[in-house]
Amino acid sequence: MKLLIPLFFTFFSLFAYDVHNGKMLLLPLSSAQGIIMMHDRNTTVVPHPLNPNRGFALLPIDYYTPPQKTEMQWLTQDGNLTLDLEILKASYPTEILSVDSAKVTPPPEALERIALEKAEAEKIYATYNTVRYWDKPFIRPIESITTSEYGSARTYNSVLKSYHGGVDFRAQTPLPILASNDGVIVLAKDRYYSGGTVIIDHGEGIYTCYFHLSQFDVSVGHKVTRGQSIGLSGATGRITGPHLHFGIMVHGIQSDPINFLAQIETLFSEPVAIVQNSQ
């Protein structure tokens, strides 16, 4: 029994992780069993896309999570394992924006519509579809430069303060918007703030969102494949000019899309240290 103690501590130091607020930790695991528990939140371990005997868990950290040292527990039938996690503070830029004042202080007649659209989106993001539609990395929805990163602290018309929940791509003229990966369209409509909006369900709690479109090529229920055009970029909703806003929701948390793309890419490229749960 005494012999086990040094091994135990070695093991702990091998598997310590850190992640910034607003980013996602992709945790590679030796099997596709069990759940990861962190902050009372349970995340299902899912099979690796290239080797279903292995697993991984997607652990997005909410933008407003304060820096802290915490733990994750991997709970399986074979036993439990504790992993150290440090949540670090990301340094996001600040932006001051001027938009139509009705999009900052909405007129009373718009309030019901706004509330309904919010509830509709929250219901979608809270839905965990156990089917995985994709088997390749996610791609950028447009070939263009980014004009605003995820996480910028924003002030609208000196009044409203929030943060930027996605990444903006320049699109001065209407450009085709491509599905980031295979999935099913779960929303395609005009909304008050996000204008022409498409949401794709990729399964296992992953949704991609495309805002401010001027035209739809898809409607709810359509299956789409990676790279397929879902519509044209535009300048609808709360905007300062024409662009595409691209967002990612993972397990109901708005995560940095560019970081998400890079994390998922590691499943298909880099060999990474895998947490073993066999004693």
Q: Smallest distance, Å, CB 160 to Zn ion?
A: 14
Q: Which is nearer to Zn ion, 21 or 148 (CB)?
A: 148
Provide DSSP, 119-168.
HHHHHHHT---------S----SSSS-EEE-TT-EEEETTTEEEE--SEE
Residues 224 and 219: their CA atoms lie apart, in Å, by: 10
Q: Which is nearer to Zn ion, 15 or 193 (CB)?
A: 193
Q: Smallest distance, Å, CB 245 to Zn ion?
A: 3
Contacts of 201 (CB under 8 A, 6+ apart): 124, 127, 129, 133, 183, 184, 185, 186, 207
Q: Smallest distance, Å, CB 40 to Zn ion?
A: 31
- Applying CB under 5 A, does 168 fall inside the site for Zn ion? yes
Q: Which is nearer to Zn ion, 168 or 201 (CB)?
A: 168
- Applying CB under 5 A, does 245 fall inside the site for Zn ion? yes
Give the C-alpha distances (Å, rounded to integers) separating 13 from 24, 27, 39, 151, 268: 21, 16, 21, 31, 26
Q: Which is nearer to Zn ion, 166 or 205 (CB)?
A: 166
- Applying CB under 5 A, does 256 fall inside the site for Zn ion? no
Tokens linked to 104: 């900052």
Q: Which residue is nearest to Zn ion (CB)?
A: 245
Q: Smallest distance, Å, CB 243 to Zn ion?
A: 7
User: Which residues form the interface with Zn ion (CB under 5 A)?
Assistant: 166, 168, 245
